[in-house]
Amino acid sequence: MPPVKDWFVYANRFYWLDGTHFRRWDGTKIENMGNNTASDGWHISIKTITGEAYTDVDNEFFGKISKAVSVEQRSTRWYFATTDNEIIYSDIGSPETFVNINVINITSGLADSITALHEFSGGILVFQKRSVYYLQGYDFASGSDISLDKLNVSTGCSWPKTIKTIENAVIFMG
């Protein structure tokens, strides 16, 4: 089994990412989180902005979720980070439900890639190898209170497991 890149527990189920699959364990069996054609009948729900059902066009979107390298919960929404510098966020209250346009692009201009996400002070720290961004706000629909700010740090983080919150600060190995 590939090594676990990131994990979380929600509704008495253990979810994890390994860079190729998004999986869950309910205490009795391990399931690969698939698309609507999953043989076990269980799947990630991917909708269009109009609420239409999943289509084959969404296979690429599903592939990005299954290859995510990091996930972070903020309030009742989950953020999945890909190495393609995209953050895909779930519907509120459901880590398995996505709208196929819920994507935030992090473009640093340094040919960098996202290595980790970390919740801090009501927002999400987005770590790349050479830079760090801070994503805050809730109103993604209108974008009125959303901001993505590049922090003035000398390096990013190549080792996600070193990121720790201590009192009111975040430390990590650059």
pLDDT band at 118 (very low <50, low <70, confident <90, very high): very high
- pLDDT tens-digit map of 19-77: 888 888 989 988 888 655 544 444 567 766 665 655 555 677 788 888 898 999 888 88
pLDDT band at 80 (very low <50, low <70, confident <90, very high): very high
pLDDT at residue 126 greater than cutoff 90: yes
- The continuous run of DSSP H or E covering 72 comes out as strand 70-74
How confident is the model over 4-32, as a mean pLDDT?
89
pTM reported for the whole predicted model: 0.81
Q: How many helices (H) and strands (E) does the chain have?
A: 1, 16
The contacts of residue 77 (CB under 8 Å, 6+ apart) are 89, 90, 91, 92, 93
Q: Residue 137 — pLDDT band, cuts 50, 70, 90?
A: confident
> With contact defined as beta carbons under 8 Å apart, do 89 and 97 qualify?
no
